[in-house]
Amino acid sequence: MATVKELKATVRPKSGKGAARAERRAGRVPGVIYGNNLPPTSISVDDAELRLRIQAGRFLTTIYDIDLEGKKHRVIPRDFHLDPVRDFPIHVDFMRLGEGATIRVSVPLHVVNGETSPGVKRGGTVNVVTHTIDVECSVDNIPQYIEADAGTLEISHSLHLSDIKLPAGVKSLSREDATLVTIVPPSGYAEEIKAAAAAAAGGAAPAAGAAPAAGAAAPAAGAAPAAGAKAPAAGAKAPAAAKAPAGGDKKK
């Protein structure tokens, strides 16, 4: 069950831009509570307290009980606006929650074991692609976060929404093939892969018809003639030995 927190607020008797500016000058943030088939109620919240709640994180997925004139309103923040220059809250919206109601919220994604993954150990970097996941669940079953385990990812591998298990009673509104986290290769990784492939190819056996390797023995003297040379015809006489001149021959 989701944790319910208390938040102090007061009813704002007047609405409009002038009344909102007066609340801000008094150190309070104007807001409104709406929904659950009831008319909207204008309220104001202490500026310092609201800043702390926003800065603490998970503000838009936390359920609050707001006490207004002795009556508690169970709400969830739906939106807040910040000053574009000074970055402090200037307005906040809350939605009433009926008992057993179903709500759509964006839940933060927590990536775990990324630093111990094989890809990171080889020099890769964890890249979180999706920081929140849109889900539908009951107001009493809003998860604080959804966990994604990246402990088995290699370089250039990714974790998708279909690879993780959602809490019971929580339905995802995002695509099943949505990429959550990936391991980015280090600088120069592609060149290293090419160099390794070239080195592996260089160690392969020589192709047919390639020249003999250096140091190969030369054919021995008197070796049989190469294939294709014609052999002497069968029965052919060996060449006669040359006769020496007769000893009785006289010079003329």
DSSP string covering 181-230: EEEEPPTTHHHHHHHHHHHHHHTSPPPTTPPPPTTPPPPPTTPPPPTTPP
247: in domain: no
Looking at the fold, whether 147 and 179 belong to one and the same domain comes out as yes
- 143-180 pLDDT, tens digit per residue, is 889 999 999 999 999 999 999 999 999 999 989 999 99
Looking at the fold, whether 133 and 67 belong to one and the same domain comes out as no
126: in domain: yes
Final residue belonging to a domain, choices 98, 124, 145? 98
Q: Is the pTM of this model over 0.85?
A: no
- β-partners of residue 31 are 43, 92
215: in domain: no
- β-partners of residue 67 are 8, 72
Tokens of 15: 């609405």
**pLDDT, one tens digit for every residue, the chain (252 residues):** 467 899 989 998 877 888 899 999 999 999 999 998 899 999 999 999 999 999 988 899 899 999 888 888 999 999 999 999 988 999 999 999 987 788 999 999 999 999 999 999 999 999 999 999 999 999 888 888 999 999 999 999 999 999 999 999 999 998 999 999 999 998 877 677 777 777 788 765 454 444 444 444 444 444 444 444 444 544 445 454 444 444 444 444
15: in domain: yes
When divided into structural domains, the chain yields a total of: 2
The residue range of the domain holding 82 is 1-98
Nearest to 145 by CA among 51, 54, 61: 61
Contact 82, 88 (CB under 8 A): yes
Beta sheet of 179-184, edge-to-edge order: 125-128, 179-184, 158-160
Helix (H) or strand (E) holding 160: strand 158-160
Tokens of 18: 């002038």
Looking at the fold, whether 17 and 92 belong to one and the same domain comes out as yes
